[in-house]
Chains A and B, each alone.
Chain A
Amino acid sequence: MTETAPHEPVIEFTNVQKVFPGHHALRDLSFGIGRGELVSVVGVTGCGKSTTFNLILGLFPPTEGSVRVEGHDPHAEFDWFRRRMAVVFQDARLLPWRTALQNVRTGMKFAGIPKQEWDGRARDWLSRLGLAGREDAYPHQLSGGQRQRVSLARAFAVDPEIILCDESFSALDEITARTLRKEFVELVRAGGKTGVVITHSLDEALTLGERILVLRPPGHLADEVRVPAGSDPEVLAELRERLITAMNPEGAE
């Protein structure tokens, strides 16, 4: 029971296999993500979510099949994706020796953005994410939620076309996570970005994703669910049940 992406595909997996020594992480995974879409990828532990994430990021090549992002190979053409892709990790991964402002600037430095733009962009994004006045704070002086806001600012300041989130909100308390998810969706939509959110939380997937890809071990697409905008709780509950069934490694397809 699958629905195809309506947009021009930006991320395309075609019959992708990934084998690590002694472990078959992905077996025949195919899907497409369209430009401007916000897609969640869910699945139980070991279903290949992280492998999928790292393949999009280009950290390693697939064993078989093809991974194309913007029509390019993210591993072979790693540097081509500079400024085109940014990541928000589960833990904020801020440099402890840099202040909030400097951390956002460092992302731009890494991405090769002209130096004269660093300060203005960094202040602007910190301010948009509610951290005006905290620019000079070091990471240890910030709470988990604030650190993740800096991490979001660092990713958005690069102005990438694709934003990848790897369990970005799962380490936060539910109230903070809910606020950040909402802000994240607004920022992705306002900027016309393509967003891919890897998560193990169904509630997060239902909140964030316009479309949800369900992976099931050993790394293949079990289902693909579209979440209608403004769905009422009953519809969301039904979708939740459908996701649980699809995720279950023991369940029938």
Chain B
Amino acid sequence: MATSSSTVTSPPPAAAPQAGAPAGRKRFRDPSLPILVVVLLGVWALASRFTPEYDVPSIPSVAKEIGGILTSGELLRSLFTTLARVGVGLIGSFAVGLGLGLAMGASSPAARYLLPLVRFVQGIPSLSWVIIAVIWFADVELRVWFVMVLVTLPGFALQTYDSYRGIPAELRDMARSFRPGRWSLFREITLPAITPGIFTAWKVNLGLGIRMVLIAELVGATVGVGAQLLSAQQLFDMAAVVSWTLLLAVSMLIVQGAVELLESWVLRYRPRIDRPGRASSAAAPKAEG
């Protein structure tokens, strides 16, 4: 344990901020994902040989269908419309959920009234919201948005609330000892402390949102993946069903990946946790004992 600057062994200052980079490259070198894809494609190819096309379509027919979707402006518009609905719905839900979560965290009376309400909303089945939306709203976009917001809102609100309550009292007291203004306190303590929870809520709600948007689109939408799936179902076009589903799932994987990249950049201050048995090459060295 060194006690003065002269004995401090200084590691490269930027060691930790870049700690995520080797992990990223490592992931691309990991053979498990290609192996998994090849095995799944093999099982699919085998299954399609022994089942009718309308049950399990062949890989070439699905590939052709996907090619058709990606080269047709109108069909591609359906995919982007659905993704946009998810995005707009989640942004609306995030804005309201964040506000509710912060209000519940900052004020006990607000928590007493709002928390049971949010938990009650969380317990309402998604399908009920779809039916209510159909009865209440004639406009399809409004229906989809309404359903998206109400289904994903509790996640944002509760995660924000929990993160707010989890802010260490020691850090608040430290900040208070400097007599900060409200905004500085929010910007420097509250916001960074709740950010990891907000990312968790986004990742969970992206999956939930994509499942919900299709159900909402099945009712009345003429554009969107849900509408395309409904049309494919009526035509017993299994290749189209699989193609749309695959496209949507892959799009969501890309969005999830982007969110995770953003998360690892925003939360770059966090120490990397190396699993036992693995070399901790990127672990930041400590200068003193």
Contacts and interface: CB of A to CB of B under 8 A. Distances in A.
Interface size class of B (residues with CB under 8 A): 35 or more
A87 B174 contact: yes
A247 interface: no
A192 B188 CA distance: 30
A141 B16 CA distance: 8
Contacts of B13: 133-137
Interface residues of A, number: 47
Interface string A73-106: 0000011011001110101010111110000001
Contacts of B177: 57, 85-87, 164
B249 interface: no
B141 interface: no
Interface in B1-56: 1-6, 8, 10-11, 13-17
B5 A97 contact: no
A93 B171 contact: yes
A173 B285 CA distance: 19
B18 to A, nearest CB: 11
Interface string B201-213: 0000000000000
Given A82-B179, A110-B179, A110-B188, A134 B287 contact: yes
A2 B272 CA distance: 55
A140 interface: yes
Contacts of A98: 188, 269
A186 B181 CA distance: 32
B116 interface: no
A135 to B, nearest CB: 7
A137 B271 CA distance: 11
B288 to A, nearest CB: 3
Contacts, number: 121
A84 to B, nearest CB: 9
B184 interface: yes
Interface centre among A97, A98, A140, A145 (most CB of B within 10 A): A97
B277 interface: no
B125 interface: no
A143 interface: yes
A179 B188 contact: no
Nearest to B4: A130
Interface string B179-201: 11100110011001001000000
A138 interface: yes
A146 B288 contact: yes
B175 interface: yes
Interface string A50-69: 00000001010000000000
A142 interface: yes
Among A82, A110, A180, chain B packs the most CB atoms within 10 A around the CB of A110
B263 to A, nearest CB: 13
Contact of A79 (B16, B170, B179, B188): B179
B178 A107 contact: yes
Interface string A112-127: 1000000000000000
Interface of A: 57, 59, 78-79, 81-82, 85-87, 89, 91, 93, 95-99, 106-107, 109-112, 130-138, 140-146, 158, 164, 173, 175-176, 178-180
15 contacts: A86-B177, A87-B177, A96-B270, A110-B179, A136-B14, A137-B284, A138-B271, A140-B284, A141-B11, A141-B16, A142-B287, A143-B289, A144-B288, A146-B287, A176-B288
Report the 9 A-B pairs with minimum CB-CB distance, sorted nearest first: A130-B5, A143-B288, A110-B178, A110-B180, A179-B3, A82-B179, A136-B13, A93-B174, A87-B177
